[in-house]
């Protein structure tokens, strides 16, 4: 079976919400009217950044 590349469009605001949620170790819960893939992707990256001791790439105000 040949490997294929996949490209998806993520909604920036939903990704950011997920990132901040993951970075702040909030319980995972996709808010209503939010793109699940975008939120989940952000959540995973935010949680990983926090776990590695990195600074958040977003401030709470942006």
Query: What are the mean pLDDT values of the chain's consecutive 10-residue runs (62 residues total)?
Result: 86 97 96 97 98 90 54
Question: Domain containing 42: what range?
Answer: 12-51
pLDDT value of position 48: 98
pLDDT of residue 14: 98
Predicted pLDDT of residue 1: 66
Q: What is the pLDDT of residue 13?
A: 97
Residue 7 lies in a domain: no
Query: Is 22 part of any domain?
Result: yes
**Is residue 45 domain-resident?**
yes
Q: Are 43 and 21 in contact (CB under 8 A)?
A: yes
**Considering the domain boundaries, does residue 21 fall inside one?**
yes
- Phi/psi region, residue 18 (left: phi>0; alpha: psi -120 to 50; beta: rest), is alpha
Residue 5 lies in a domain: no
Domains of the chain: total: 1
User: How far apart, in whole angstroms, are the C-alpha atoms of residue 36 and residue 53?
Assistant: 26
The residue count of the chain comes to 62
3-state secondary structure of 38: helix
């Amino acid at each position: 079976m040949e490997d294929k590349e996949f490209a998806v469009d993520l909604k920036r605001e939903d990704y950011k919400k997920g990132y901040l949620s993951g970075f702040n170790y909030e319980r995972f819960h996709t808010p209503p009217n939010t793109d699940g893939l975008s939120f989940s992707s952000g959540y995973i990256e935010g949680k990983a950044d926090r776990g590695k001791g990195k600074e958040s790439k977003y401030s709470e105000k942006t």
